[in-house]
Structure 1
Amino acid sequence: MKKFNNKLALITGGNSGIGYATAKELIAEGAQVIITGRRKEAVEKAAQELGAIPFTADQSNLTDINLLKEEVEKKFGPIDILFINAGITGSLTSIEKMSTENFDEVMNINFRGAYFTLSKLIPLLNEGSSVVVLSSIVAGTYKPNSSVYQASKAALNSIAKTAAAELAPRKIRVNMISPGPTKTEIMNKAGLDEDTLKGLNEYLISEIPLKKMGTAEDVAKLVTYLSDPVVSSFITGTEIIMDGGMIL
């Protein structure tokens, strides 16, 4: 018997990268998985490949979040695993040159949207369920030109820990995963060209003691571990760093 038979999982931003890999991992372990994303065609294509249930929703849009909650409650019922994964880096810009548009976009998706996704879905969480929030090692770093992205992840960690305290009476565990450099599409979406991206990857690998980048599958396996109520029953409010030793 697979560990997540008869369990329902919901993954935001599940049509690519870490979200996609996690959906694949959970489905392999028997879970029924709902994936969300902003682009209807991409979400439906990914769902078909995975054997998942697609739902088009923009995490930064509160109307979409409310619709998601209503549809899940009506059609599927209680959630056992919630992976709040959707996020963007935004433009890499100094504080001095930061635009309000970039600030709002990053905060609306990474923080405000994640906050209200959790807020609205809490009533649907089964007792003893698992919430995993995708953060980043940047939540504890202060690199130039990344102020808004860093701040959005630091804020996310703060609310995740508060949620762990609030939901503990229902035996709901809330944990954070903070990857370091990981091979996903997110940096391409930040607008970096191929040569710049290659140079950045080579630099990052040189800074990592294990001399390799993480993968979406690495994170997916940890989400699966934290979602298992047997092996992770005593883990909540914890941030797990996956960075190959980068911040040692």
Structure 2
Amino acid sequence: MSRLKDKRALVTGGSSGIGLETARRFLAEGARVAITGSNPASLEAARKELGDVLVIHADAGDVAGQTKVADAIRDNFGGLDAVFLNAGVGDFRPLAQWDEAGFDRSMAVNLKGPFFLVQALLPILAKGASIVLNTSINARIGMPNSSVYAATKAGLISLARTLSGELLPRGIRVNAVSPGPIATPLHGKIGMGDAEIKGLVGQIPLGRRGSPKEIADAVVFLASDESAFTVGSELIIDGGMSTL
């Protein structure tokens, strides 16, 4: 398989879940791959699993740190052809339980950091590069306790359109994938047990959670030249949860 042959790619949050699977697929399709992450142990495990990848320790919510990510890519790859902005945090709380610090952290990691990473990468993005934003169907459905998370993802969906308009003169395309519930460690991290996951699955017309591979397949398409006529789009991958 060589859909990304000789392309240089970055996957943020590439040490677990959707990001790790996408990095794996990018490598299989012939790309040179860099991943970022904030957990040293997870990054080291990903390095051992993936093999020949550039590993960059980075906090997705640290604006100043995004320049360091861009510098590392420039020093090692010279430029970039594909970017999957996947790093994010899922913080779900009732409205009454939110505080400013939690709100700011979600906004920083999910929206502010990715925005400034794109800015930092601008000088090294190749003509015709593809940027893919990992958003969420939470931006489109009224799920309780997801207000801040959904707002950050709605911001990314908007960026897929506005940045496309701004960067298209350079041939740079920006698109988004919006996953529904995916079987990753996230659900455990936010305290969901078997009963909660079963209830969630009950809301999905297909009757199951998606797999990281199903999202990675879509990202590979958007990162490749196969999607050269796809600009500012949002690909919803949720088993029908938001549409039926």
The one-letter code matched in structure 1 to 2:148 is V
Cα offset, 1:156, TM superposition: 1.4
Cα offset, 1:76, TM superposition: 1.4
- The corresponding residue for 1:133 is 133
Give per-residue Cα distances to partners, 1:58-80, cap 9 Å, x unaligned.
11112221111112112211101
- The corresponding residue for 1:221 is 217
Structure 2 CA distance, aligned partners of 1:157 and 1:115? 12
Cα offset, 1:188, TM superposition: 2.0
The one-letter code matched in structure 2 to 1:5 is K
What's the TM-score once normalised by structure 2's chain length? 0.95
Matched, 1:150 2:150: yes
What is the 5 A alignment of 1:231-242? 231-242=226-237
Matched, 1:187 2:183: no
What's the TM-score once normalised by structure 1's chain length? 0.94
- The corresponding residue for 2:206 is 210
Segments of 5+ residues of structure 2 without an aligned counterpart are none
Structure 1 CA distance, aligned partners of 2:163 and 2:182? 26
- The corresponding residue for 1:115 is 115
Asked if structure 1 preserves the Cα contact closer than 8 Å seen for 2:17 and 2:185, the reply is yes
The one-letter code matched in structure 2 to 1:236 is V
Structure 2 CA distance, aligned partners of 1:162 and 1:20? 28
Asked if structure 2 preserves the Cα contact closer than 8 Å seen for 1:35 and 1:47, the reply is no
Structure 2 CA distance, aligned partners of 1:211 and 1:96? 32
The one-letter code matched in structure 1 to 2:38 is R
Matched, 1:246 2:241: yes
- Which aligned segments of 4 or more residues in structure 1 are displaced greater than 3 angstroms? none
What SS class does the counterpart of residue 129 from structure 1 fall into? strand
What is the 5 A alignment of 1:14-93? 14-51=14-51, 52-90=53-91, 92-93=92-93
Give per-residue Cα distances to partners, 1:158-201, cap 9 Å, x unaligned.
122111111111111110000001001112222x0xxx421122
Residue correspondences, number: 242
The one-letter code matched in structure 2 to 1:112 is K
Identical-residue share of aligned pairs (%): 39
- The corresponding residue for 1:7 is 7
Structure 2 CA distance, aligned partners of 1:93 and 1:42? 26
